[in-house]
Structure 1
Amino acid sequence: MPSKRLEFSTMLALSILLLVTMTFKSTEAHMAMLYPPPRGGYGTKEFNWKIHEFIGYKGFKYPCGGYSKGPNTKMKAGQLIPVRFWTTELRKVDKLPTKNVPEARHGGGMCEFSLSNDGGKSFHVIATYTKTCPDVMYEWPVRIPDNVPSCNDPGKCLFAWSWTAALVPQFYHNCADITIEGSGDGKLPKKMIQLYDFKGHKKGVTFPGDGRSHDHGRGPIAAEVKIASRRKSL
Structure 2
Amino acid sequence: MKICFSLAALAGMASLAQAHMQMSWPPPFRSKFNKYTTDIDYSMTSPLFLDGGNYPCKGYHSALNTSQGQSVVNWEAGQTNNFTIVGTATHAGGSCQASLSFDQGKTWKVIHSYISQCPLKSSWQFTLPNDTPSGDALFAWSWFNQLGNREMYMNCAHVTIRGGTSVIKERSAADSISKRPAIFVANVANVCGTLEGADVVFPQPGPDVDRASGKTSPPVGNCG
The two structures share one fold, judged by TM-score above 0.5:
yes
Aligned residue-pair number: 182
C-alpha contact (below 8 Å) 2:111/2:180 kept by paired residues: no
Structure ranking higher in strand proportion: 2
| TM superposition shift of 1:224 | 2.1
Which of 14, 28, 39 matches 1:23? 14
Residue deviations 1:96-130 (CA, integer Å, cap 9, x gap): xxxxxxx1011111101111001111111110112
Percent identical residues: 31
Distance 1:13 1:59 in 2: 39
What displacement does 1:145 show? 0.9
Alignment of 1:69-218 (within 5 A): 69=64, 70-72=69-71, 73-87=73-87, 103-135=88-120, 137-150=121-134, 152-153=135-136, 157-168=137-148, 169-181=150-162, 182-183=164-165, 187-203=177-193, 205-206=195-196, 208-209=198-199
Stretches of structure 2 that go unaligned for 5 or more consecutive residues are 168-175, 200-208, 212-224
Alignment of 1:224 with 2:210, yes or no, is yes
Q: Which blocks of at least 5 consecutive residues in structure 1 are unaligned? A: 1-9, 88-102, 210-222, 226-234
2:159 and 2:74 map into 1 onto residues whose CA distance is 6
Larger radius of gyration: 1
Residues 50 and 189 of structure 2 are in contact (CA less than 8 Å); yes or no, is this contact kept in structure 1?
A: no
Kept in 2, the 8 Å contact 1:54–1:60? The answer is no
Q: Secondary structure at 1:61's aligned position in 2?
A: coil
SS at match of 2:84: strand
Q: Alpha-carbon deviation of 1:148?
A: 1.8
- What's the TM-score, normalizing by structure 1? 0.68
What TM-score does the superposition give when structure 2 sets the normalisation length? 0.71
Q: Distance in 1 between matches of 2:191 and 2:3?
A: 40
Q: CA deviation at 1:200?
A: 3.1
